[in-house]
């Protein structure tokens, strides 16, 4: 531990959790200077100013994800130890967090593990909560992850032209499509596919194309505090039996194009959009899916670069076209 003053930065937006973390850390040492923030941008700024020895970081922070905040902190305060304390228990998300930080504790286990974790990582050790012991949390390289691409489009016409090209190519390769879009975009895609010689009605009847309404699908699994993982998984699994494209080879994919996150972003539900992107990553981890998401570039004009960075962080890549 560094001699003299030791700064600890706690980034947590719930007051009761801040109080719990504060009291727990004081059990270990009352000489530490604690600094508390409630959102991701302030966490990054305080990390720059304080260069803390320890950062205790929630993932579900306002404005953008704590994981993206940790990436920035790692660059700007390289010596800081980062401990995630979060309600998230998805192994894929824990794996992503541990690729950046030194430790991870689930909030439900924090009463018995928080202080142990702090002591361990300050000794230079890695700490992972016991509930994750049976999981392989070795960070995966982008090449090992299922493709999940994001496209920031300049206008609707360009978006629809490029998505229609993707769909036409997908059908030509005997692969299948699930498209969860707004009504306007669904009509535009059908028009373009028809112009390219695709019999959309026939492809739908054969299970080659499944077209869904983004707002309706969202209403089936959204809670007041964000997407419900159990209901989303059930809904996702219900879609799959409808897909009847021949898949004799494991390489045959289903292209899943979704605009639900776009709908959430337009309504300024940023945390819910990021969480939904992360849940999609979990759902298709071991499945032959190619995920595509799109956001209008104008939604990010004049806003913090952190918004766009947070979106990119939960995708394998940003591409100019699908």
In this structure, the number of other CB atoms found within 10 A of the CB of residue 195 comes to 10
pLDDT in tens, the chain (322 residues): 444 458 999 999 999 999 999 999 887 777 789 999 999 889 999 999 999 999 999 998 887 788 888 988 998 998 999 999 999 888 878 888 898 999 999 999 999 999 999 999 999 999 999 999 888 777 655 555 678 899 999 999 999 999 999 999 999 888 899 999 999 999 999 999 999 999 999 999 988 999 999 999 999 999 988 898 888 888 887 776 555 444 444 446 789 999 999 999 989 888 889 889 988 887 877 677 889 999 998 887 765 556 777 788 788 888 775 6
Query: What's the predicted TM-score (pTM) here?
Result: 0.58
Sort 78 into a burial class: Cβ within 10 Å, 0-12 / 13-18 / 19+: exposed
Strands 7-11 and 81-86: unpaired
Phi, psi dihedral angles at 73 (to 5 degrees)? -60, -40
Candidates 73, 72, 7, 66; CA nearest to 40 is 66
- Give the pair of three-digit tokens for residue 281: 């990553």
Candidates 207, 288, 205, 203; CA nearest to 243 is 207
How high is the pLDDT of residue 192? Answer: 95
| Same topology between domain 7-132 and domain 142-318 | yes
Q: How far apart are CA 301 and CA 310, in angstroms?
A: 15
How high is the pLDDT of residue 62? Answer: 80
Q: How far is CA 14 from CA 68, 198, 224, in A?
A: 19, 52, 16
How high is the pLDDT of residue 18? Answer: 94
Q: H or E stretch including 121?
A: helix 110-122
CATH code, 142-318? 3.40.50.300
List the domain boundaries for the chain. Answer: 7-132, 142-318
How high is the pLDDT of residue 6? Answer: 83
Asked if residue 261 lies in contact with residue 294, where contact means CB atoms within 8 angstroms, the answer is no
CATH code, 7-132? 3.40.50.2300
Candidates 261, 318, 301, 310; CA nearest to 39 is 310
């Amino acid at each position: 531990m560094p001699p003299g003053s030791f700064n600890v930065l706690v980034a947590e937006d719930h007051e009761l959790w801040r109080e719990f973390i504060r009291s727990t850390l004081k059990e270990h040492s009352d000489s530490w200077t604690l600094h508390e923030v409630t959102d991701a941008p302030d966490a990054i700024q305080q990390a720059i100013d304080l260069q803390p020895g320890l950062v205790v970081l929630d993932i579900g922070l306002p404005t953008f994800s704590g994981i993206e905040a940790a990436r920035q902190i790692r660059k700007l305060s390289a010596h800081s130890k980062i401990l995630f304390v979060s309600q998230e228990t998805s192994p894929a998300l824990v794996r992503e967090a541990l690729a950046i930080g030194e430790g991870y504790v689930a909030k439900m286990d924090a009463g018995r593990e928080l202080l142990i974790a702090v002591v361990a990582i300050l000794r230079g050790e890695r700490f992972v909560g016991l509930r994750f012991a049976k999981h392989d949390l070795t960070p995966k390289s982008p090449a090992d992850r299922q493709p999940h691409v994001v496209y920031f489009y300049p206008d609707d016409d360009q978006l629809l032209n490029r998505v229609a090209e993707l769909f036409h190519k997908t059908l030509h390769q005997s692969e299948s499509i699930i498209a969860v879009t707004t009504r306007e975009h669904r009509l535009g895609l059908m028009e373009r596919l028809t112009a390219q010689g695709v019999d959309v009605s026939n492809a739908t009847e054969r299970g080659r194309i499944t077209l869904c309404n983004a707002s309706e699908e969202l209403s089936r699994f959204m809670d007041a505090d964000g997407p419900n993982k159990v209901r989303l998984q059930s809904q996702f699994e219900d879609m799959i039996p409808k897909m009847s494209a021949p898949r004799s080879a494991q390489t045959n994919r289903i292209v899943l194009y979704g605009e639900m996150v776009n709908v959430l972003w337009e309504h300024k539900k940023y945390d819910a959009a990021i969480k939904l992107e992360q849940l999609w990553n979990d759902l298709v981890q071991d499945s032959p899916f190619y995920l595509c998401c799109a956001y209008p570039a104008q939604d990010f004009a004049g806003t913090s670069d952190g918004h766009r960075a947070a979106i990119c962080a939960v995708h394998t890549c940003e591409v100019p076209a699908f």
